Amino acid sequence: MSQKGLSTQSGAEGSARARYETVIGLEVHAQMLTRSKIFCGCSTRFGAEANTQICPICAAFPGVLPVLNREAVQMAIKTGLAIDGQVRLLSEFARKNYFYPDLPAGYQISQYELPIVEQGALWIDSPERGEGVRIGITRIHMEVDAGKSLHEGIYGASWVDLNRTGTPLMEIVSEPDLRSSGEAGEYLKKLRAIVRYLGVCDGNMEEGSFRCDANVSVRLHGDSVFGTRCELKNLNSIRNVMRAIDYEVERQIELLEEGGKVVQETRLWNADLNSSRPMRGKEDAHDYRYFPEPDLPPLRLTAERVAALREAMPELPDAKAARFGQQYQLSRYDAGVLTSSRELADYFEAVAAHAASLGHGNAKMAANWVTGELAARLNRDGVEIGQSPLQPWQLGKLVALIQQGTLSGKLAKEVFEIMCQEGGDPQQIAEQRGMRQVSDEGAIDVAIARVLASYPDDVAQYRAGKGKVMGFLVGQVMKATQGKANPALVNQRLLAKLAE
């Protein structure tokens, strides 16, 4: 298949594809941001030298025992509450048994029959199905991460690094409710925003602290049963998740259209080749021999403990976006963008608050600056809002200066650039460089008179009913004032003069 390549969508193929419905379920493994590992006291710090963050418990020496990290439980509960899940007051750990060099005990401690959270959901805006589509979350369970096998640059052997062993994970399993790669992307963005809001996971897919496996199948529209699914692995960005799903959907439809059958298998995505290949065959299908972990008593929570955590929950993306819509009169889209991370939302609110404190608040304008100029700048420099070159008060003051008419949009962009490079107070920058917007009617009228005199033909055209010319004339007036004139005033005075 990969050698042959996939045919592009066209004609008959395209209509064949339209007859199929895509069904996707996602399994996300989120590393929890606990200070220590889930069953021992070792640090969870990332990037240390191999096998320096381990103890006899990590290495599964004879006779050692796991003790559950309370912080990991708190984080799992919080995540469960954030997705409106049911937090089980009685949950249980189990052993998943298999041999692998980077799995020192020969079993992974996980939750199987009784996970800590069941029956949650989150809501996404689907590119195809519209706003507010509910995606069910079957369960969240806690488990332990394995170590890493190292093969690169080693000849005739493999090395094992156990630093990651014991890092607490949450596995968040969705229902097969997603219907497109676009929905899968939205789901992951929303879920990642939630875990970041809660501070339970850094959501970094490239570093593997937020990992996603996708179960993908297709069926003819109207079919009541799901098609045979394949599990896609090695998806280290949201973009790769979406690309791998698209590839898989094409592959399965092509297979079915050729009269073939989809074989249930695990497929490894190769981002460089933009294709996937089967990872393991049926012959080594695992029997994990799950059974309750006898070294850990069942996990019992009190309703009070869960209630206390519920009380302490931060405002989450959906609630914040709804509030932004109401409080700041923002569009659903803007509110969604601004609440995609807690830091960005906080930044925006600080900008808006500072502008308002100066008596010239305009939240919509603040939002435009944050999602427009600033976002572009951050994007260009490849940094997050936390590394913004501007403090919220600087941008807030800039917004106030525009709102009160001191700076035009054009001037404000120049001030913005200067602030980004040199820092400083926008008002001082504008004053020192004489970038004050001209709102003096007399000065503007002088400029208008000069322009009207210079372009008699255009004036005649305007007066003959060619309204378009107005834009040209405004531009000339602005040019004549080195862009400092208040554009609204220029418009107003120019119309008056032309009407004379």
Provide the binding-site residues for other proteins, judged by CB under 8 A.
56, 59-68, 95, 97, 99, 101, 104-107, 158, 160, 287, 289-291, 294-297
Report the amino acid identity of residue 62.
Answer: P
Rounded least distance, CB 149 to other proteins, Å: 10
Query: Quick one: 107 or 210, whose CB is closer to other proteins?
Result: 107
Residue pair 254/14 in contact (Cβ under 8 Å)? The answer is no
Minimum CB–partner distance for residue 301 and other proteins (Å): 15
Closer of 155 and 311 to other proteins (Cβ): 155
Q: 7-10: long-range contacts at Cβ-Cβ below 8 A with a sequence spacing of 24 or more?
A: 7/254
168 or 361: CB nearest other proteins: 168
| Closer residue to other proteins in complex, CB, 112/455 | 112
28 forms beta bridges with: 172, 212
Q: How many residues does the chain have?
A: 500
Closest approach of other proteins to the CB of residue 68, in Å: 7
Cβ closest to other proteins, residue 97 vs residue 266: 97
Distance CA 475, CA 470 (A): 9
Which one, 64 or 459, has the nearer CB to other proteins? 64
- Closer to other proteins at the Cβ: 55 or 121? 55
Of the candidates 101, 96, 137, 449, the one whose C-alpha atom is nearest the C-alpha of residue 289 is 96
**In 3D, which of 144, 159, 151 has the Cα closest to residue 67?**
144
Q: Which is nearer to other proteins, 5 or 63 (CB)?
A: 63
Identity of the residue, 39 or 210, whose beta carbon is nearer to other proteins in the bound complex: 39
Which tokens hold the place of 390?
A: 């501007």
Q: From the CB of 269, what's the least distance to other proteins, in Å?
A: 24
Least distance to other proteins, CB of residue 61, Å: 7
- CB of 172 vs other proteins, minimal distance in Å: 25
Q: Cβ of residue 123: shortest distance to other proteins, in angstroms?
A: 36
Residue indicated by tokens 């993908």: 216
Cβ proximity to other proteins: between 40 and 172 the closer is 40
Phi, psi of 457 (to 5 degrees): -65, -45
Pick the closer one to other proteins by CB: 63 or 465: 63
